[in-house]
Amino acid sequence: MNVDVLWSKLLENLKTELTSLSYDTWFSDTKLYKLDNEKAYIIVPMAIHKKHLSNNYSDIIKNNLNILTGTNYELVFILSDELEDEKNKEEEKELYENTPKKVENINSNLNKNYTFDNFIVGNSNKFAQASALSVAENPGLLYNPLFLYGNSGLGKTHLMHAIGNYVVEHSNKCVLYVTSEQFRQDFVKASRRDDDGTNFNYVDFFKDKYRNVDVLLIDDIQFLGGASKSQDEFFHTFNILHNDNKQIVISSDRSPDDLKILEERLRTRFTWGLQANIYPPELALKKEILKKKIVANDFNDDIPDEVIEYMANNIGPDVRKLEGAVTRLVAYSTIMGGEKITLDLAIEALKDNISKGIGEKNNIQRIQRIVSEYFQISTEDIRSKKRSANISFPRQIAMYLCRNMTTESFPKIAIEFGGKDHTTVMYSVEKIENEIKINKDLANIIEKLKKDIGGV
């Protein structure tokens, strides 16, 4: 990569953006010394340039560098005589190359919040997590590539960042995380700009960037696009990294076999290493995740088990939705003046998050609602002690359905119907059972209601 051409291009841009006085004073004697993974080293003539450029022109330089390279560099201004020191330091650095040290690797695109420490493990994701950790501990050596797949919201992206963060923390290896969409865009942009008349080769720059990493994390490979130059480019990148024993981690929403949009030669390569499927979380894991996320939200009050149980049972497998529900619940309780979180409060707070959209506490309430809607009476009435026929008859039907479609006991059903005596429930159930046998219309209504209620 030619840093001189890059810098002269950047200076050209600056010339158009600055007055000629500022440009001549601050930029005319500058030079780009080198770019490394995260820093751009700029040689300046005098100490005053260092201060002035970093105070006043950092943003404009960074922006222009980003426009030209697609990368965010930190700027380091150096005087020519400091250059010698810098060179010595580099030699030193090479000597200590193998000593683990913490690097603030800003260009890795890593999200520091996704780590192995805060990834909660259960049966459904145990294998994926263990595979990811062993790759993080031995990049390039054990399973290459590691192919993680599973539905949206199950933790694939989290695990990829966790691998990256772990490697950065424990070695000096260079890590790069991108989505396949970013990879594609980066490549398309570089290809387009190669004809801009300068002899700066953007595609070479692109290749350097991707082919010189130690760990490449490519997320959501299903979006790489059909047969295309980007796919071809990824194929070559893959081969070069793989030959060099550089670690590749790929994620996808489906297995390599089902990635029909990708060419056979790529799919085959994806099966060379290890494939790990993440399954939807089981109930116990959902509860564990909910509990930990509540603590992570700095919410210290004890949340009753029934609330956790209710959330775990009613929110689907997508962990992102579990997180959303926790945020909402905690916010709701704060807005309500720090009210204690009870089951009722949770139902109210999560009305919109719960897929049934209603947020009933249990199946008895669900049946009460459906029967009330059918007979066009209110749920208050169906639970009341009112004896008029237009209410008591639907109430008996609802009691019958509760007994037949749930595993609830007579006393429990009685409580949910306004605290009646449980013999009243027994009587109602028996009455409806007998009537169905002789009344075809009623039998039809009951059938229809059962369908509406569905699997409870």
Shortest distance in whole angstroms from residue 251 CB to Mg ion: 6
- Quick one: which of 144, 157, 333, 363 contacts Mg ion (CB under 5 A)? 157
Shortest distance in whole angstroms from residue 131 CB to ligand ADP: 14
Nearest CB to Mg ion, comparing residues 251 and 363: 251
d(CA 456, CA 443): 20
CA angle 133, 118, 38 (to 5 degrees): 70
Question: Which DSSP symbol is given to 215?
Answer: E
Nearest CB to ligand ADP, comparing residues 153 and 394: 153
Residue 440 φ/ψ, nearest 5 degrees: -65, -35
d(CA 166, CA 70): 25
Nearest CB to ligand ADP, comparing residues 6 and 285: 285
Shortest distance in whole angstroms from residue 256 CB to ligand ADP: 17
Residue 119 touches which of Mg ion, ligand ADP, none (CB < 5 to 8 A by kind)? Answer: ligand ADP
How far does CA 49 lie from the centroid of its chain? 43
What are 35's strand-pairing partners? 40
Residue 147 touches which of ligand ADP, Mg ion, none (CB < 5 to 8 A by kind)? Answer: none
Residue 145 touches which of Mg ion, ligand ADP, none (CB < 5 to 8 A by kind)? Answer: none
Stretches 40-48, 153-161, 370-378, 422-430: which one binds Mg ion (CB under 5 A)?
Answer: 153-161
Nearest CB to ligand ADP, comparing residues 156 and 366: 156
Nearest CB to ligand ADP, comparing residues 131 and 171: 131
Q: Of the candidates 278, 271, 262, 221, which has an alpha carbon nearest to the alpha carbon of residue 242?
A: 271
Residue 44 φ/ψ, nearest 5 degrees: -125, 155
Shortest distance in whole angstroms from residue 171 CB to Mg ion: 25
Q: Of the candidates 359, 449, 327, 447, which has an alpha carbon nearest to the alpha carbon of residue 398?
A: 449
By beta carbon distance, the residue nearest Mg ion is 157
Q: Of the candidates 249, 230, 231, which has an alpha carbon nearest to the alpha carbon of residue 173?
A: 249
396: contact with Mg ion by CB under 5 A = no
d(CA 143, CA 177): 18
**How crowded is residue 338: how many other Cβ atoms within 10 Å of its Cβ?**
9
Shortest distance in whole angstroms from residue 14 CB to ligand ADP: 39
Shortest distance in whole angstroms from residue 217 CB to Mg ion: 11
What are 277's strand-pairing partners? 149
Q: Cα Rg for the chain, rounded, in angstroms?
A: 32
Shortest distance in whole angstroms from residue 104 CB to ligand ADP: 22
Q: Of the candidates 419, 446, 452, which has an alpha carbon nearest to the alpha carbon of residue 431?
A: 446
Residue 153 touches which of ligand ADP, Mg ion, none (CB < 5 to 8 A by kind)? Answer: ligand ADP
d(CA 146, CA 287): 28
Shortest distance in whole angstroms from residue 156 CB to ligand ADP: 3
Interface with Mg ion (CB under 5 A), residue total 2
Shortest distance in whole angstroms from residue 336 CB to ligand ADP: 26
d(CA 398, CA 368): 6
Q: What is the 3-state secondary structure (H, E, C) of 422-444?
A: HHHHHHHHHHHHHHHHHCHHHHH
Residue 320 touches which of Mg ion, ligand ADP, none (CB < 5 to 8 A by kind)? Answer: ligand ADP
Nearest CB to Mg ion, comparing residues 157 and 368: 157
Is the CB of residue 123 less than 8 Å from the CB of residue 130?
no
179: contact with Mg ion by CB under 5 A = no
By beta carbon distance, the residue nearest ligand ADP is 155
171: contact with Mg ion by CB under 5 A = no
Amino acid letter for position 414: A
88 Cβ contact partners less than 8 Å away, ≥ 6 residues apart: none
Nearest CB to ligand ADP, comparing residues 70 and 122: 122
Nearest CB to ligand ADP, comparing residues 177 and 206: 177
Binding site for ligand ADP (CB under 6 A): 114, 118-120, 125, 152-158, 289, 319-320, 323
Residue 154 touches which of ligand ADP, Mg ion, none (CB < 5 to 8 A by kind)? Answer: ligand ADP
Q: Which residues bind Mg ion (CB under 5 A)?
A: 156-157
